[in-house]
Structure 1
Amino acid sequence: MTTLIDVDSSHREPRAARTVDVLGVPWPAHKVHALVVAAAVALVSLVLVGSLEVTAWVSGLALLAVWWGERHLPGTAAVAPASNPPGIS
Structure 2
Amino acid sequence: IVGFVGVLVVLRPGFRHLGHGHVSAIVCGLVGAISVIALRMAGTDEKRITLYGAGVLGPLVLGAILMLPVFVWPTLQQWLMIAGYGLLAGLA
Same fold per superposition (TM over 0.5): no
Choose 1 or 2 for highest CA Rg: 1
> TM (normalized to structure 2)?
0.32
> TM (normalized to structure 1)?
0.33
Q: Identify, as 1 or 2, the structure richer in strand.
A: 1
- Which structure has the higher relative contact order (CA within 8 Å, separation 6+)? 1
